[in-house]
Each structure stands twice: as C-alpha cells, then as structure tokens.
Amino acid sequence: MSDWARENVTLLTAVCSAGALALVFGAVGGVIPSSVLPRAGDAVLAAIPHVNAAVSLAAIAAILLGWRAIARGDVRRHRALMLTSFSLFCAFLVAYLYRLIHVGTAEFPGPEVVYSYVYLPFLAVHILLAIVCVPFVFHALLLAATRPPTELQNTRHARVGSVGAVLWLISFAMGVGVYLLLYHLY
C-alpha cells in the first residue's frame, strides 16, 4: 500500500467504519429502496438466514484458528484465516442486507415474555457488539495491509486485533443464537 495509507490508518479506519455502518443503517432504515436490486426468488430469500448461520459458524472457526495460528507463530496462516473470516463476514453482510432490503426484519415468533425479556436484550447486545467491533476489525486489517509482518509488532495490531476478534466472536456467536431463536426454537 502507499505511504499515505500507511501514515493514515486511523483516518482510513474511520472512513471505512463510517461507510460500512452507513450502509448497514441505510439498509435497516429503509433508505436503500428494494427497486435498486434485482429480487431473487422466495426460496433464495428464505434460505439466506440458514446460509448465513453456516457462514457465521465458518467465520467463528476461522477466527479461532487464526488466533491459534498466531499463538503458534504462524503468521502466514494467521493472515489467511483472518482474511477468510473477514471475507465470510462480508459475504454474510451482503446476503443479510440483500434480504433485509427485500423482505425486512424477521418477526419473533415466540411468546411475548420471551420476546421482551430474552430476545430483545440478546439482540440488542448482539447488534451493539457488531457495531463496536467494526473499527477494531478495520484498524487491525489496515495495519496488517500497510506493513510487513515484521513491523506489526511495533504497532497496536495485536492489541486492537485481539479486542476486535473477541467482540467479533461474541457477536457472531450471538448472531447464531438470534438465528436459533427465530428459526428453530420458536
């Protein structure tokens, strides 16, 4: 990457984070009209939550294996696994937002008491962690993209990456929990 990018990782993190979150909030808020995207068939739209649950589990595995790789000193494998987890997250997000734009949010099918005292708080924490982890993940990725591995030890990559990975793991796991509550438990 360019010297400019290397010297402006914090600015790039802010821009990437703001752009990604604006896209998500735009989709959730109905700012992105469904007419701008071709509509898939009902079977495809119905399959997206199930596919996304599998993608989330694969991303969790990639993050955990990436952590294990770096603990063992295998930088190349760590990098490959973390890029894999980020790619899986991007695939998840594209599918999730596509379905959200065309179908809207899923209604909780369970009892009102479970909705109010279990589902909503669980969903709120999941969403909060998903939002908070974005700048950590972008910052760790941008540091890694703008420096050779030998220089990363002189940056906040490990510290920021660890926080981002923990938040990301918990958010992904809670997302699977939301999926189970919506599509399997009720």
Q: What angle do CA 74, 69, 139 make, to 5 degrees?
A: 95
133 Cβ contact partners less than 8 Å away, ≥ 6 residues apart: 164, 167, 168, 171
* Tokens matching residue 64: 């955990």
Q: What is the band of 140 on the pLDDT scale with cuts at 50, 70, 90?
A: very high
- Do 69 and 77 touch, CB atoms closer than 8 A? yes
Domain ranges of the chain: 38-185
pTM: 0.92
Segment 72-109, tens digit of pLDDT:
999 999 999 999 999 999 999 999 999 999 999 999 99
Task: State whether the Cα torsion 45-47-53-59 is positive or negative.
Answer: negative
Q: What is the band of 2 on the pLDDT scale with cuts at 50, 70, 90?
A: confident
